[in-house]
Structure 1
């Protein structure tokens, strides 16, 4: 299995985890590309022969390249986001089909077609969305995108209609009123969440969405984490307010990142302290937590049976994962652990799984399965032998 990481020095590294090794460390961390500015976001897509990777940097650069199985890199394309200003950053990045989507904290959303240079007028489509964003995600169907931030509640937009609308109409209200109300949607906005109810003292809760994620292959189920440490689950078909509001999930510093697992009802959550949990989406309870972390986990990458993470303590880690119990509230017997810890020298900022599993490990698993079948005894022969013994006993008696 291979993970890709970016760090504050602009380097991109490949982390290999080999389950076949029995002696010594099972991981190897190689620098495959260097840069001049901190890496802020990474996204990858696996093809037949290589992995296509997009990386955004703090200086506005977006770099697209392919990584082969031997970690060799081939440059594909790069461009600069001119609308990114000082003090702002990239909050979202995604590769879909032949397009790369990027979004900044000041609402500069761009779609660039891979294989075309930024000098051609057809290469990129841009749109302006609200500012003060902290996270942005493209839906699994690639038909919508969602964002949230500082006093910016969860919102869902249509991709094609937003990128095809005229620039002067993108942030105009749909109503003809001079003053836009809080509930008025933008022209290409499909849905917007409504803030939770006031607290027991009647005070309004501030909106501070620090991380969000789509939970299923549809575009209607989403999860948000807040700076206050709450985790909220939304069903856009049911209501504008969250269908579940789990409070005080974060122990320190609010929710840092949320990432859905590959198992049903599974999500991984980190906070501003040094906590990383697996949560059950059916009740919002912690299934298990990882012990031994000494820094805040800033990014999570989920792979089959393994989890990759990077933290502010300069370490890259590989974790084991186990699905939530079948029944809600049932005792969890198996708990995830930290399998490997690698010192990265510089502070890592993001991590992604490249979407592939090495053929050698797959073949090793197949060989193990074959060995299991070879070692099994033939049930039919055993029963025949038992019947023969019984007949002999009857004759002797």
Structure 2
């Protein structure tokens, strides 16, 4: 029974648990874990991050007023506020575009490049902070699986990969001012890496008229764990509706460009699936697609959507989407074929729609592994078959 957590525009944090074996009309259970309606839209939730390391599950939330809260998620589904701090470098017209939790640290990033690493003390007595400054006009920020690196992209900001430790030890003033790392001769920004930056993408070739193509990365994600410190695989969506796949060891330009994925308004969000070669994307219309990363083709889309999916969350068995039409949807996930181009016998569908009274802004999977229970009668039948002897060609016929 997968469970998804989501935040909304009023600061509420809720959970939706989907039980496909339920005999009720609705197979989903909606719970309110944190009531934030008293503060209104000033504390609307923009990002959520969950960390299940250790005995407690820690849930972090980034709010519209620049605050970041950390809660303890108890077994009885109660959220207990542990700490809250304020990102003072964010302005009213800016927002959080990245939030991640790893170990005892919470990382947050804003559209103006204010990067913050907040580390909880072992006895929960306080929080220590480290600041870093990245380029502005960012649209998305992601921490790698092993937290050794992070990546970002934005409006006229190419996809970039940074070393996490070096980002917080290098002088942040030169980054904010756009000064080259060597402090020497002035070079084009595209040719000079910032302190802590280990790789930066290069724009695609000019169009057929010889004109430079604009850079507007709207979202990105790591699509596989890093095999080495110098190799990273990333997938980025653009306002033009294209998906660009990068291998940092294969050069600075994308190794593949999947055109026309975002049908309306470009790509809104992208998430890597649990199956190999699988990713899920949404656009600014009402489209959510499963993408085959081997070919860049749309494997299947979900029908019956009436609002833009602003956030996607993937579990091993299901996909959840938070939509501006005030619905949380639970989708089925279909395994991609073994070979490119093979026909899919079935496609993903919308299994459940849960209406909420306020607009959901972000959703995440609660990371709980679910093992399917085996019916005792079915298990007994399997034992009988396993105990039977196979009849071979050399056996005597009766």
TM-score (norm: length of structure 2): 0.91
Question: Structure 1 pair 49/15, CA: closer, same or farther in 2 (3 Å)?
Answer: farther
What does the per-residue CA deviation read over 1:118-156, in whole Å, with 9 as the maximum and x for residues that have no partner?
997x80000000000000000112111111101001011
Render the CA deviation track for 1:333-376: whole Å, top value 9, x for unaligned. Answer: 12111111000111000000010046xxx3xx3333x5323124
Q: Distance in 1 between matches of 2:16 and 2:119?
A: 28
Within the candidate set 176, 180, 201, 1:173 is matched to 180
Task: Specify the alignment match of 1:200 in structure 2.
Answer: 208
Which stretches in structure 2 are left out of the alignment for 5+ residues? Answer: none
Match of 1:5 in 2: 6
Contact residue 77 and residue 115 of structure 1 kept, 8 A: no
Indicate whether 1:229 and 2:241 are aligned. yes
Point out the structure with max Rg over C-alpha: 1
| Residues 284 and 4 (structure 1), Cα distance of their counterparts in 2 relative to 1, 3 Å cut | same
C-alpha displacement of 1:295: 0.3
Q: Does the alignment pair 1:96 with 2:102?
A: yes
Q: Which residue of 2 aligns with 1:217?
A: 225
State the number of aligned residues.
383
**Residue 105 of structure 1 pairs with residue 111 of structure 2:** yes
CA contact (8 A) 2:137 2:154 kept: yes
State yes or no: 1:292 paired with 2:304.
yes
> What is the CA–CA distance in structure 2 between the aligned matches of 1:266 and 1:179, rounded to whole Å?
39
The equivalent of 2:26 in structure 1 is 25
Q: Which runs of 5+ in 1 are unaligned?
A: 392-397
Give secondary structure in 2 for the equivalent of 1:42: strand
2 CA distance for matches of 1:148 and 1:383?
59
What is the aligned counterpart of 2:258 among 246, 257, 274?
Answer: 246
State the 1:302 CA deviation: 0.4
Verify the 8 A CA contact 2:47 2:97 in the aligned structure 1: yes
Cα distance in structure 2, aligned partners of 1:298 and 1:66: 26
Q: Contact 1:264–1:323 (CA<8 Å) still a contact in 2? A: no
Q: Distance in 2 between matches of 1:375 and 1:259?
A: 40
1:322 pairs with one of 334, 355, 358: 334
In the TM superposition, what is the alpha-carbon distance from 1:170 to its structure 2 partner? 3.9
Following superposition, the deviation at residue 24 of structure 1 comes to 1.5
The residue correspondences of 1:1-397 to structure 2 (distance < 5 A) are 1-35=2-36, 36=39, 37-47=43-53, 49-115=55-121, 123-171=128-176, 172-175=179-182, 176-178=184-186, 180-218=188-226, 220-357=232-369, 362=371, 365-368=372-375, 370-376=376-382, 377-378=384-385, 381=388, 390-391=397-398
1:179-238: CA deviation from partner (whole Å, max 9, x where unpaired) = 554311112111100000011111111111000000111051000000110000000000
RMSD between aligned residues: 2.3
Give SS of 1:318's match: strand
For structure 1, which segment, 9-18 or 48-57, has the greater mean C-alpha deviation from structure 2 after superposition? 48-57
CA contact (8 A) 2:53 2:103 kept: no
**1:6, distance to aligned residue in structure 2 (A):** 0.5
Q: Deviations over 1:215-267 (max 9, x none)?
A: 11105100000011000000000010000011111111100000000000000
